[in-house]
Amino acid sequence: MDVHIRRAVLNDAEVIARVLYDSFVEYRHLYTDEGFAATALGPEQIRIRIREGPVWLASRSEVEGTVSAVTKGESLYIRGMAVLPSSRGSRLGSRLLQQVESWAEGRGFKRLFLSTTPFLSSAIHLYERFGFQRTKEGPGDLFGTPLFTMEKINGPFPTRTSDG
pLDDT tens track for 12-69:
999 999 999 999 999 999 999 999 999 999 999 999 999 999 999 999 989 999 999 9
| CATH of span 4-153 | 3.40.630.30
Tell whether the model's pLDDT for residue 160 goes beyond 60: no
Tell whether the model's pLDDT for residue 130 goes beyond 80: yes
The residues with which 67 forms a beta bridge, in sequence order, are: 56
Pick the residue with more confidence: 3 or 112? 112
Average pLDDT over residues 113-120: 94
Q: Measuring CA to CA, how many Å separate 30 from each of 36, 39, 52, 115, 145? A: 9, 12, 28, 16, 7
Angle at Cα 63 formed by Cα 78 and Cα 29, nearest 5°? 65
* Contact partners, residue 29, CB within 8 Å, separation at least 6: none
Q: What is the pTM of this model?
A: 0.89
Residue 107 has a CB neighbour count (10 Å cut-off) of: 10
Cα gap 75→109, rounded to integer Å: 6
The fraction of the chain above a pLDDT of 90, given in percent, is: 79
Tell whether the model's pLDDT for residue 158 goes beyond 80: no
Tell whether the model's pLDDT for residue 159 goes beyond 50: no
What pLDDT sits at residue 152?
A: 96
Cα gap 13→52, rounded to integer Å: 13
